[in-house]
Chains A and B, each alone.
Chain A
């Protein structure tokens, strides 16, 4: 059973103080977390080394401006950090980081991973909104009661994987009705336990999976079924996909913010996919008309085949889509069936190779040789 420490402070304040003491005592050299930009409500991920700058840190603020797994990957892409740092990320961001590490896009060594039981994040279009403060406090109320906040991303609303895997330290947030006064930190790994002394609280014997957590999970599972069912339009297949992706501008924002899409230059942004002017005459002859720019649907299908098996359902793609295509729900749905086929859970185990990176002779025997 993981070591647990109860801290008699508001959860945001308590975690802040814990991280601050790690930084001040130089147990770690930096904290990677969310930081307030200015007074207009914007937050961004930052690596913070100075205690003075740390005053602006808001580790549990319910926004995901970028998937932190992607941001940590850019930090450790060319090697591990020599100086120890702590990173606060949400469970799906952590899963994304694990998937990136498997693909040699990051390194977790010397990074103390802190995560939380996650109530979700607010849609990015609410960032900088004039009612932001009240939306955020409403959000925390729903976290306390283990209710699904309607202001959170669609993927958050149906996320059943809101407990972190692979976190050294977990902040128990969901379902704690006294979150304003006290909360529990779970030290899950030996690496995490090294820092337990810095948490000023009393040891308790608790489990992270409470009745509230299990009920919450059930509620979200039900919603997932509902959302997935709604996404499955009656008229499936190519025709339905054509309609769903009809408004796509081809801005490729979804791929830019996707933590799994790590290619420096996407195949679909490369010259390979420039439309050959010489084909115009024959294409028009056959089809009578061409949607231009062409290839938007192919882009989504291509991207899907590349990353869906590792999709962590973080919802970044839907949040940045300027034409409201439910990209994340579609990808999450396809991802979840695909992951079942491969018996693979993205972000679970750093050592487990990604399905495309491994060959099993007896896999898919029903479509291959008997």
Chain B
């Protein structure tokens, strides 16, 4: 952790509270309009509604006129923001200053992708925003008007509605966390019709200064409301984890949830963490001769085609679950409604705890699989010595 970040962490947090008479959306956009006009950034990555359609998408916006279609709080998560940012910043160094306004889970994915060298964050300012959640993509596409309207109501009240995506209903990380992920956070859960800007790094501080805002306002109101909601949602999440751990206690229970899979790999292609150009499970390595298939069939009595439908999920899981940010993009993309996001989130929760790792929390925390700690998992490797060490430490 560098000094700048330490400083912002130890100081009691203050921010800038802005009135939003014309509405939250307008006010948030105004901040960025000013930032672009003042050349603080060269471009802004933000969700937008595609003209003449009900569809949402990400745009990298430079021309001011495009603010008309920008929407900081769209009813759906289309492409995961981390993936969108990576799509244009993984193939070389950025030479433009870019601000990215994303949901907290998208920011966390971006941080993980940064650690995996799939995003160049050098000239990127990450700006997170309090997230009311999003609606299931298919629900929205089936009836954009109705679902769009009900999202509006849900988001205004910060309601943990059952019409939200399951990942969002169970999300307790919808706001700023005590880490070094985003540079600036936009708080919305505080007072009504107010937007709270919270700097979270030296870059965030500079940004506020350049915008002419002095972060002198108390964050009490926002913090207390946020804490209340975090508590409520943590309770919801714990209940979800308990329910699903019970459901999938036996391997059979786990596989039953996945057996509708048709092998389309949409989950992987929507996942921000699955960044491989070609997945092992799409490669030629898994092609066999007919006699091998027949041999395998005879051993088991029957062989499912395409092969490795289950192995794919297990393989993918072992590769990415430590970095799983529980964004639910996989579940949104599944054509046969497998609760794949919930399964991965549940397994992620357990494995991440084992490594004491929260994906996307701190830019400096090394990826668990890249970090060797001599005494890690000693209870599995050398149980006897481990016991001695533990008792010694206790003394």
Contacts and interface: CB of A to CB of B under 8 A. Distances in A.
Contacts, number: 239
B59 A127 contact: no
Contacts of B89: 277
B41 to A, nearest CB: 12
A30 B56 CA distance: 48
B282 to A, nearest CB: 7
A278 B283 CA distance: 30
Contacts of B283: 264-265
B264 A257 contact: yes
A124 B266 contact: no
A80 B294 CA distance: 12
Interface string B47-69: 00010111111111111011000
Contact of B66 (A82, A124, A288): A288
Given A82-B290, A274-B90, A257 B79 contact: no
B65 A45 contact: no
Contact of B294 (A49, A281, A284, A324): A49
Interface residues of B, number: 77
Contacts of B92: 276-278
A125 B337 contact: yes
B301 A49 contact: yes
Contacts of A292: 45, 57-60, 79, 84-85, 87-88
Nearest to B43: A284
B94 interface: yes
Contacts of B301: 48-50, 52-53
A77 interface: yes
Interface in A114-157: 124-125, 127-128
A49 B298 contact: yes
Contact of B93 (A81, A124, A247, A277): A277
A66 interface: yes
B345 to A, nearest CB: 18
Interface stretch (A33-41, A339-347, A357-365): A33-41
A70 B264 CA distance: 12
Interface in A7-66: 29-30, 32, 35, 37-38, 40, 42, 44-50, 52-54, 56, 65-66
Given A83-B294, A257-B264, A293-B87, 19 more contacts: A35-B304, A40-B256, A47-B293, A48-B302, A66-B306, A75-B293, A78-B288, A246-B53, A247-B55, A257-B262, A265-B277, A269-B278, A270-B277, A278-B95, A291-B58, A292-B58, A294-B87, A320-B264, A322-B270
